[in-house]
């Protein structure tokens, strides 16, 4: 009897255990605790920054910079003798140092105005000083030169930290997506993943733009040529012709002035005849008095 009771009890335990293991695992977003994100705190500049992954998920390293992130920019304005020769010299210097032209335009409105040429160039940061020192070689006179540098290390580190956190959050939601069973939960997770991936691409764009500014320094170059000064040599014959021309202009102005006084001429005609009649009558009276 004891043996039968023990067998029944053992069978019940085995069936209960099998029933428990056979129940499917149900996962809800509200039941899963996400691990804390990586803290976005200031990092030592000397510490190598984590690599930035590509949009396809590759683990290729995109940056191994360990130093400060300095953005160099500047403006140079100078006068030159020849626009074409100056532009050619700058082209050659850029090609030699690995730079390129980002913006280029020319202002040429005629022989009587100043000819101005503008170039915005980008030069590798390591060659920026060399290119800057070559600019005065093509200048007749330097009008202004402004160089300024911005430390973007903190911004670069912050963007890297944001990217790491967003990628970690994306990985966690992808794990939830594998464990989820409810359609509602799956749709909610997919929406979250889409939002996170959009943020990741935006952060990558900002990081790449900042990296480009650090890698290639920008310089705005404006150079110009003033029109030649024309000296008029006035000979004696030129002065005679000028005097005759001025006299003709003065005479024409005089006649035009007389024509402009036409109301006065109209009023003077009746006055002329009135005065003439008065003189005639006065003369007749005087003659009659003398005859008497």
Structural domain containing residue 59:
29-64+153-212
Do 36 and 93 reside in the same domain of the chain?
Answer: no
Residue 34 belongs to some domain of the structure: yes
Per 3-state DSSP, what percentage of the chain is helix, strand, and coil (rounded to 5)? 55, 15, 25
Do 75 and 45 reside in the same domain of the chain?
Answer: no
Of the candidates 135, 168, 142, 144, the one whose C-alpha atom is nearest the C-alpha of residue 34 is: 168
Q: What is the pLDDT of residue 118?
A: 95
Do 112 and 181 reside in the same domain of the chain?
Answer: no
User: Mean pLDDT in the chain?
Assistant: 76
The model's pLDDT over 82-129, given as tens digits with 9 standing for 90+, comes to 999 999 999 999 999 999 999 999 886 555 578 899 999 999 999 999
Residue 2 belongs to some domain of the structure: no
Residue 86 belongs to some domain of the structure: yes
Q: What is the pLDDT of residue 234?
A: 66
Residue 287 belongs to some domain of the structure: no
Residue 273 belongs to some domain of the structure: no
Do 88 and 203 reside in the same domain of the chain?
Answer: no
Q: Yes or no: say if 80 and 139 are a contact pair by the CB < 8 Å rule.
A: yes
Q: What is the pTM of this model?
A: 0.52
When mean pLDDT is compared across 3-12, 64-73, 178-187, 192-201, the lowest value belongs to: 3-12
Do 81 and 137 reside in the same domain of the chain?
Answer: yes
CATH number of domain containing 133: 3.30.70
> Count of domains in the chain?
2
- Domain C-terminal end among 225, 260, 279: 225
The model's pLDDT over 185-207, given as tens digits with 9 standing for 90+, comes to 888 888 988 999 999 999 999 99
Residue 177 belongs to some domain of the structure: yes
Mean pLDDT of 245-249: 83
Q: Is 208 exposed, middle or buried (0-12, 13-18, 19+ CB in 10 A)?
A: middle
Q: Are strands 141-151 and 100-107 parallel, antiparallel or unpaired?
A: unpaired
Do 186 and 203 reside in the same domain of the chain?
Answer: yes
Do 148 and 76 reside in the same domain of the chain?
Answer: yes
C-alpha 114/C-alpha 122 separation (Å) is: 26
C-alpha 84/C-alpha 61 separation (Å) is: 43
Q: Is 134 exposed, middle or buried (0-12, 13-18, 19+ CB in 10 A)?
A: middle
Do 188 and 81 reside in the same domain of the chain?
Answer: no
Do 148 and 79 reside in the same domain of the chain?
Answer: yes
Residue 157 belongs to some domain of the structure: yes
Token digits for 67? 């130093």
Mean pLDDT of 217-236: 80
> What's 164's DSSP letter?
H
pLDDT at 9 over 70: no
Do 54 and 180 reside in the same domain of the chain?
Answer: yes
Do 145 and 203 reside in the same domain of the chain?
Answer: no
Do 79 and 200 reside in the same domain of the chain?
Answer: no
Residue 251 belongs to some domain of the structure: no
- Domain C-terminal end among 170, 192, 225: 225
Q: Yes or no: say if 170 and 194 are a contact pair by the CB < 8 Å rule.
A: no
């Amino acid at each position: 009897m004891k043996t039968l009771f023990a067998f029944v009890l053992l069978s019940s335990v085995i069936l209960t255990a099998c029933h428990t293991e056979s129940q499917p695992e149900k996962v809800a977003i509200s039941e899963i605790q996400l691990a804390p994100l990586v803290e976005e705190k200031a990092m030592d500049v000397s510490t190598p920054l984590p690599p930035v992954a590509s949009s396809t998920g590759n683990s290729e390293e995109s940056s191994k910079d360990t130093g400060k992130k300095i953005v160099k920019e500047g403006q140079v304005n100078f006068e030159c003798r020849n626009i074409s020769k100056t532009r050619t010299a700058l082209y050659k210097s850029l090609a030699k140092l690995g730079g390129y032209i980002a913006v280029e335009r020319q202002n040429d409105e005629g022989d009587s105005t100043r000819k101005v040429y503008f170039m915005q160039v980008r030069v590798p940061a390591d060659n920026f000083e060399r290119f800057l020192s070559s600019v005065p070689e093509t200048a007749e006179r330097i009008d202004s030169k402004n160089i300024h540098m911005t430390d973007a290390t903190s911004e670069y580190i912050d963007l890297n930290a944001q990217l790491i956190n967003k990628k970690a959050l994306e990985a966690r939601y992808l794990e939830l997506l594998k464990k989820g069973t409810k359609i509602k939960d799956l749709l909610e997770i997919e929406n979250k993943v889409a939002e996170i991936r959009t943020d990741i691409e935006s952060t990558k764009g900002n990081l790449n733009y900042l990296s480009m500014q650090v890698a290639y320094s920008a310089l705005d170059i404006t150079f110009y040529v003033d029109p030649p000064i024309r000296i008029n040599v006035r000979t004696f014959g030129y002065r005679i012709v000028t005097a005759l021309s001025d006299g003709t202009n003065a005479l024409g102005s005089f006649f035009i002035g007389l024509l402009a006084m036409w109301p006065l001429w109209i009023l003077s005609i009746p006055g002329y005849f009135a005065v003439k009649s008065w003189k005639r009558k006065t003369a007749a009276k005087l003659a009659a008095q003398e005859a008497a």
